[in-house]
Structures are given as C-alpha cells and as structure tokens.
C-alpha cells in the first residue's frame, strides 16, 4: 500500500496588518500525519493521537478537505489518515489548517500530483470552513506554499507567495487558554473608519515591500494593526505588557497570531528572537497561566515528507 508520513507545519495568520490575507509558515512546531492509499474507496480517519478530535470524516477538517479534493478529481479514492497532533486546537497557530493542508498535500502526492499546490489551497479551505465557519486561506496557504503568503483576492482565489528575508525569526507564545476562532470573529466590527483603513493598507503595502527589499526597518514600521488588534487583544491576558516588553527587547513587531490566544513576534536574527522569547517568558511566568514558547525561522518549504 502506498503511504506517506509528513510534517504539517504550524502557521501565523493575519500578521498584524494583514487580517485574513497574510500568513507565514513555521518550522519548529507542527503535526505529523500518515496517509495510506487503500482499495476501500473511502476516506477514513483511522487514528488521532495528541488531541480529542472527531474520527468521523465529515467532522474532521482533514476528512472534509480530502473529500473536496476527491470531488474535484471525480474518481473514487480510498485513503486512511492518521493524525498525530502537536498543535493544540484553538491555539491560533493553524491547528485546523495543518490537518487540512497536510491531508490534501499528502493525498495529492500519493496520487501523483494531479493538482498544483495553488489548486490545493481551495480544498484545504473547506477544512477551515468546517473549523471556523469561514473558508479563509491565510493559514492553509503558507502551510501549502511555505514562506510568507498573500491572498490578493478570495473571489476568484488569487494567492501569491512572497519572499522570506533570510534573517527573520519568529517567536510565538501560546498561553494555554482557548479562544475559538468563531468567538474571536464575533468581537470584530463589520465596518471600518476610512482613516483606519488608510493606515492599515499603508502598513500592508509597507510590510510586503519590506519583504521584497529585505528592509527590516520598513518591516518593523509596518507591523501595526489599528483595526483588529485593539478589539481582540482584550481576550488575551497581558497582551499589552508582552508587546511592550518584546518591542523594547528588540522585536521588529508583535501581534496576535491568527485569532489568538497566541502572540507572535518577528525578529531580526536568532539571538534577538531568543532574548525576546526570554523577556516574554518573564512576563508570563507571573500570570499563573501555563504557556508554551516556540522560536522558529520561516519555513520556506511548507509541508515536508518525513518518509514514504
């Protein structure tokens, strides 16, 4: 039986000024999945470790995403899927996206790559629709394409891969409280004042320019969110203190990862990232809330084959 074991990476979505359109891929945290072609003509989730998640195909994002791929392929496919979770659901670093993107990437690989990585994005987005009620692409796109990604348009879907300046290193703190994507969405206002929109798209353009020109100063000036962060940050204990301490320790920027509760920073160089991680740790140690900290360079490859 043809089988593949993969690393399905965590991702940071939104990245301050890029709500629902920017994302980047991490290297040091991710799930493992094993997918095996079978003669059953059925998509089955056969095993899940590390989390309590549904085994029913239609209730698990991996099953839903693969079903979307199989529907587009228009031929019967049998696959058994094992998911070994390391990214906690509701962490804000793309737990559901890792499963959706990983599943479609691996099935596509097992079938001889009938779809391009860009085409896989829309299948993986169906998993995101199940997880949060919204088929967003800003986690599944960086997981599938690697590096930084930008969703220029949702209708039609138009996703670009952006350059990853070599010295960028991310830190992520995940306070172990759960914020559901759906709840974090409910807190957002549906209308935006023009003045704020102008600031936001100025920053988005600046950030993307900074990635192309490897201008770390410009990246730093642009990592600012005047629309979503002020509303959502109240859901995250000590957000403002963490941000202050991260910036004063040398982080280029700091914001909410996805819909939270994780907080990310982008830094120039590994040493600064380590110092920033330590400074954030010092803040969080006093809260009594359990937390995990990850330090990761940008994963420009995305999903990786571990064995096949």
The residues assigned a catalytic role are 128, 181
In the complex, what is the shortest distance from the CB of residue 107 to ligand ADP, in angstroms, rounded to a whole number? 14
* Binding residues among 179-198 for ligand ADP as defined by CB under 6 A: 180-181
149 contacts ligand ADP (rule: CB under 6 A): no
60 contacts ligand ADP (rule: CB under 6 A): yes
In the complex, what is the shortest distance from the CB of residue 10 to ligand ADP, in angstroms, rounded to a whole number? 8
92 contacts ligand ADP (rule: CB under 6 A): yes
Region of 252 (left: φ > 0; alpha: ψ -120 to 50; beta: rest) is alpha
In the complex, what is the shortest distance from the CB of residue 172 to ligand ADP, in angstroms, rounded to a whole number? 11
- Determine which residue in the list 18, 90, 206, 302 makes contact with ligand ADP, applying CB under 6 A: 90
* Binding residues among 235-294 for ligand ADP as defined by CB under 6 A: 258-259
68 contacts ligand ADP (rule: CB under 6 A): no
Angstrom distance (rounded) from CA 146 to CA 149 = 8
Binding mask 35-54 for ligand ADP (x = CB under 6 A): ------------------x-
Angstrom distance (rounded) from CA 90 to CA 125 = 17
Q: Give the range of 16-24, 87-95, 141-149, 199-207 binding ligand ADP by CB under 6 A.
A: 87-95
- Determine which residue in the list 89, 160, 247, 283 makes contact with ligand ADP, applying CB under 6 A: 89
In the complex, what is the shortest distance from the CB of residue 97 to ligand ADP, in angstroms, rounded to a whole number? 5
131 contacts ligand ADP (rule: CB under 6 A): yes
67 contacts ligand ADP (rule: CB under 6 A): no
In the complex, what is the shortest distance from the CB of residue 142 to ligand ADP, in angstroms, rounded to a whole number? 12
Residues that bind ligand ADP (CB under 6 A): 53, 60-62, 83, 89-97, 99, 131-132, 180-181, 258-259
């Amino acid at each position: 039986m043809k089988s593949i074991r993969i690393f399905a990476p965590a991702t940071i979505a939104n990245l301050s000024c890029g709500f629902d359109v920017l994302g980047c891929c991490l290297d040091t945290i991710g799930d493992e999945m094993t997918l095996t072609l079978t003669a059953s003509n059925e998509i089955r989730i056969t095993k899940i470790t590390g989390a309590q998640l549904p085994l029913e195909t239609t209730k698990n994002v991996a099953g839903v995403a693969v079903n979307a791929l199989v529907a587009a392929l228009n031929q019967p496919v049998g696959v058994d899927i094992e998911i070994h979770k390391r990214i906690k659901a509701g962490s804000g670093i793309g737990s559901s996206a890792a499963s959706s993107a990983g599943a479609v990437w691996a099935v596509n690989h097992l079938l001889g790559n009938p779809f391009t990585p860009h085409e896989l994005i829309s299948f993986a987005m169906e998993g995101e629709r199940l997880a949060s009620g919204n088929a967003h692409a800003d986690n599944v796109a960086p997981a599938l394409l690697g590096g930084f990604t930008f969703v220029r348009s949702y209708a039609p879907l138009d996703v670009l891969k952006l350059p990853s300046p070599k010295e960028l290193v991310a830190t992520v703190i995940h306070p172990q409280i759960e914020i559901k994507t759906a709840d974090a969405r409910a807190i957002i206002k549906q209308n935006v004042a023009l003045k704020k929109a102008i600031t936001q798209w100025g920053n988005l353009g600046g950030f993307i320019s900074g990635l192309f020109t490897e201008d770390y100063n410009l990246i730093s000036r642009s990592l600012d969110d005047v629309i979503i962060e002020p509303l959502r940050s109240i859901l995250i204990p000590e957000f403002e203190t963490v941000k202050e301490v991260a910036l004063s320790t040398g982080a280029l920027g700091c914001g909410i990862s996805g819909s939270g509760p994780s907080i990310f920073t982008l830094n120039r160089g590994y040493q600064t990232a380590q110092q920033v991680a330590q400074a954030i740790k010092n803040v969080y140690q006093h809260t009594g809330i359990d937390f995990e900290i990850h330090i990761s360079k940008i994963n420009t490859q995305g999903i990786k084959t571990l064995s096949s």
